Amino acid sequence: MPKYFLLLWFSGLSSIALSQVSDSTGTLFDTIILNEVKVSAVFPLNNNDVVDFYRPDYFSTLDKVNARLDGMSLIKRGAYALEPQLNGFSAGQLNVTIDGMKMFGACTDKMDPVTSYIEPTNLKNITINTGTNGSQNGCNIGGSMDMSLQEPNSDSPRPFYSSLGYGYESVSRGSNILFTAGYTKRKLAWGIDGVYRKNHNYMDGTHSTIPFSQFEKTNIHSVFIYSPNTISRLKADILFDGANNVGYPALPMDVAIARATLFALEYRRTGRTQLISKMYFNTIHHVMDDSKRDSLYFLENETEIKNDSVYMRMDMPGKSSTLGAYMQLIVPWNDHNKLTIKADNYTNNSVAEMTMHMRYAGFSPEPPMYMQTWPEMLRNVSGLFVQNTTSISKKLKLTVNGRIDYNIDILQSEYGQLQFSVFNYTLEKKQSRVVKSMNMSAQYRINHSLSLTTTAGYSDRMPAIGERLGFYLYNAYDGYDYIGNPYIKTEKSNFFSIGFMLSKPKIKINLSQSFSYIRDYIMGISDTLIPAMNFYARGTRVYTNVPAAGTYSADLQLLYNPLKSISLFLLSKFTMGRINGGNNMPLIPPLKNIAVVQYKKDRFSFQAENESSLAQNFINPDYGEHKTPAYTVFNIKSAYSFSVSRSILDISFGITNIFNGAYYEHLDWGRINRPGRSFEMFVKYSY
């Protein structure tokens, strides 16, 4: 038996759900617990080995972990806060939630995906659902990613436990301090965890420093659990995340402050019927900063764009707050059927402003120029989700689910109405719409070790605020100012997926493929009648429904344990996308492989990783794309754990990008090289 814990669950590509709790499509098939969990129990378990490679040292932000998840790619604008993309879908096409709670970034330029507010220290697991089948927390077409927050370690032999760690990475002279502590006694449990990170500009593989790649952040999460009896419990979470001075080398500006606060209260009752009810509030404050940038930076680098000698500064604050609640019931209403009902409601309030201050050398400043890039809007969504799972026979299980969302948008800003009058719109203050989703999946067990899962589904999704009411949002990737379309139609998708899973004692293979056929695909279409606003913009694009688009994805995961102490893990992901049958969908990653070899014996472990990607030649130059060359990168890491009486000292050492390769990935904006060789060291003391 392998030494580590392994719970491989290939419930099919439609639900790469990863824990016992998030049992959405069921554990009919393989749930194998090979051994006790040693390090932080439940994590993306089918990626457990890869994740463990990164997790014990917590060097990295969540981004490094996400990059190694099935079907997941990351859009990179800086060293921090990478934006998740799932099989070619991102932003408003994905539901990204925390314990089922809705949260929306406050940046008009997508500098703050919700994943940037969660750290590996406070993450318990990640549940991913692909395609339209990710609609449990809201109708959507591209899938869902739910991150659940860490809970106090109830396995701790002593009531009080704590740990303190320090990590250093040479490439960015980055310091990482983290701590966890907890106390559990009978009915009470309390936990706290925190991280502080400070990274300077990193060096790439050509020994050049990448300017504006620094960041600094603090994250603190605390949880309190009260369990009056064995079947019910009350839980409260508080999370604070604050980042300062975050550089975005691929964008014309940086972030001065990105601050998020989250409060959640949950009541859970288990038993034959399970009940979860939750209330939450979160708020994000985002302030961009261009004071460190040369305002001529873009002009000097772009010959085709008009030249001017000006000095301009912009204030661009954004705010997003969400208040919500949900209630979920899971009822096994007979021996063969299980019903899940979830009712939820949330209200989000978002606003983003821009004030430009212009001065010419030797002149007094001009009057400020003000606009609302996201005019203040309130969105209320009430949804109902119903799912039934039927075990037809020992070999076949069927799951049917549906969701309906009633959506009301209230434009609170009169200024926003005035702004849109320049495009000849007379905007209604209120707009309501209904979106829906319906999915069916079948899991069939062919024999003892082989099974098959197929899913077919439909969903539509609400346009995001920027797609409806965005006002001159500069997109540094294609160089256009984007303008919303207040009456844009919902995006619709028909989804189909098929997955095979092989599970034998020494080898596990999961191969999945999915197709999405999208109608009314939302993208920016050039409008030559609207002049651009930013100096460096090439023109203006208006969010428009394109008749059709399609994506295809294939993912492979393989885990092989030839010996007790050795395991091999391979992850391959491939996606392609077309718009209107012809052009390439922009920002689609090429084939990527991650291969890991791990050796673990007693207190010692060693891992070697290779990450490689093919070139991407299927590009869309109209949308700012360039061909991206192939690359390959090698990483190693080893760890040793000392035990001194009741305390444990973990030490690890690693090198990423051993051969100091200069490379970037296709989804990296600005084709800016990734970090070069980095020596990493980590020490953790646990008591």
Partner 1 sequence: MLQPVDPKVGMNDIELTLHRKATMMDWPSDDTYTIEITPEMPSMGHGSPNNVNPSSIGNGHYKGKVNFTMTGEWRVNVLVKKDGADVSQNLFFTVTF
Binding site for partner 1 (CB under 8 A): 306, 308, 310, 312, 356, 358, 360, 366-371, 415, 417-424, 471-472, 529-533, 535
Q: Residue 514's closest CA among 145, 139, 13, 18?
A: 13
| Residue 497, binding choice from Cu ion, partner 1, none, Cβ under 5 to 8 Å by partner class | none
| Residue 111, binding choice from partner 1, Cu ion, none, Cβ under 5 to 8 Å by partner class | Cu ion
Helix (H, G, I), strand (E, B) or coil at 343: strand
Q: Are the C-beta atoms of residues 152 and 192 closer than 8 Å to each other?
A: no
CB of 480 vs partner 1, minimal distance in Å: 13
CB of 422 vs partner 1, minimal distance in Å: 4
CB of 533 vs Cu ion, minimal distance in Å: 6
Neighbour-count burial of 270, counting CB atoms closer than 10 A to its CB (0-12 exposed, 13-18 middle, 19+ buried): middle
Q: Residue 109's closest CA among 318, 377, 305?
A: 318
- Residue (263 or 415) nearer to partner 1, CB: 415
| Residue 477, binding choice from Cu ion, partner 1, none, Cβ under 5 to 8 Å by partner class | none
Q: Determine the interface stretch with Cu ion among 104-112, 172-180, 347-355, 666-674 (rule: CB under 5 A).
A: 104-112
Regarding 476 and contact with Cu ion (CB under 5 A), the answer is no
Determine the Cα–Cα distance for residues 217 and 203; give it in Å rounded to an integer. 20
- Residue (369 or 392) nearer to Cu ion, CB: 369
- Residue (294 or 308) nearer to partner 1, CB: 308
Which one-letter amino acid corresponds to residue 680? Answer: E
- Residue (233 or 357) nearer to partner 1, CB: 357
In whole angstroms, how far apart are CA 141 and each of 76, 134, 329?
22, 8, 24
| Residue 360, binding choice from partner 1, Cu ion, none, Cβ under 5 to 8 Å by partner class | partner 1
| Residue 617, binding choice from partner 1, Cu ion, none, Cβ under 5 to 8 Å by partner class | none
Bridge partners (DSSP) listed for residue 594: 571, 611
Determine the Cα–Cα distance for residues 531 and 520; give it in Å rounded to an integer. 25
CB of 418 vs partner 1, minimal distance in Å: 3
Count of residues that interact with Cu ion, criterion CB under 5 A: 5
Determine the Cα–Cα distance for residues 312 and 298; give it in Å rounded to an integer. 12
- Residue (142 or 524) nearer to partner 1, CB: 524
CB atoms within 10 A of CB 211: 12
- Residue (392 or 418) nearer to partner 1, CB: 418
271-290: contacts with Cu ion (CB under 5 A)? 288
- Interface characters, 52-91, with Cu ion (x: CB under 5 A): ----------------------------------------
Q: Residue 68's closest CA among 58, 89, 54, 82?
A: 54
Cα distance from N-terminal residue to C-terminal residue, the chain: 29
CB of 372 vs partner 1, minimal distance in Å: 9
- Residue (271 or 367) nearer to Cu ion, CB: 367
CB of 247 vs Cu ion, minimal distance in Å: 12
CB of 306 vs partner 1, minimal distance in Å: 6
C-beta nearest to Cu ion: residue = 107
Find where tokens 């002593």 sit: 158
Neighbour-count burial of 457, counting CB atoms closer than 10 A to its CB (0-12 exposed, 13-18 middle, 19+ buried): buried
In whole angstroms, how far apart are CA 461 and each of 400, 403, 467?
19, 11, 12
| Residue 306, binding choice from partner 1, Cu ion, none, Cβ under 5 to 8 Å by partner class | partner 1
Q: Are the C-beta atoms of residues 78 and 250 closer than 8 Å to each other?
A: yes
Among residues 103, 107, 123, 633, the one that binds Cu ion under rule CB under 5 A: 107
- Residue (310 or 649) nearer to Cu ion, CB: 310
- Residue (481 or 609) nearer to partner 1, CB: 481
- Residue (109 or 146) nearer to Cu ion, CB: 109
Regarding 114 and contact with Cu ion (CB under 5 A), the answer is no
Among residues 23, 109, 119, 254, the one that binds Cu ion under rule CB under 5 A: 109
CB of 358 vs partner 1, minimal distance in Å: 4
CB of 612 vs partner 1, minimal distance in Å: 45
Determine the Cα–Cα distance for residues 368 and 533; give it in Å rounded to an integer. 15
DSSP string for residues in 298-327: HHHH-SSSPP---EEEEEEEEEEEEEEEEE
CB of 201 vs Cu ion, minimal distance in Å: 19
Q: Residue 495's closest CA among 512, 479, 518, 477?
A: 518
Mapping DSSP onto H, E and C, the string for 530-593 reads CCCCCCCCCEEEEEEEEEEEEEEEEEEEEEEEEECCEEEEEEEEEEEEEECCCEECCCCCCCEE
Helix (H, G, I), strand (E, B) or coil at 214: coil
Regarding 111 and contact with Cu ion (CB under 5 A), the answer is yes
Q: Determine the interface stretch with Cu ion among 36-44, 106-114, 406-414, 433-441 (rule: CB under 5 A).
A: 106-114
| Residue 367, binding choice from Cu ion, partner 1, none, Cβ under 5 to 8 Å by partner class | partner 1
352-391: contacts with Cu ion (CB under 5 A)? 369
* Element containing residue 29 per DSSP (H, E): none
* CB proximity list for 493: less than 8 A, separation 6 or greater: 131, 132, 141, 142, 458, 459, 460, 461, 516, 517, 518, 519
| Residue 532, binding choice from partner 1, Cu ion, none, Cβ under 5 to 8 Å by partner class | partner 1
- Residue (356 or 378) nearer to partner 1, CB: 356
- Interface characters, 197-216, with Cu ion (x: CB under 5 A): --------------------
- Residue (175 or 413) nearer to partner 1, CB: 413
Q: Are the C-beta atoms of residues 603 and 627 closer than 8 Å to each other?
A: no
| Residue 109, binding choice from partner 1, Cu ion, none, Cβ under 5 to 8 Å by partner class | Cu ion
Rounded to the nearest 10°, the torsion over CA 76, 82, 87, 90 is: -100
CB of 529 vs partner 1, minimal distance in Å: 5
Structure tokens at 219: 């994250």
- Residue (75 or 288) nearer to Cu ion, CB: 288
| Residue 288, binding choice from partner 1, Cu ion, none, Cβ under 5 to 8 Å by partner class | Cu ion
* Residues engaged in binding Cu ion (CB under 5 A): 107, 109, 111, 288, 369
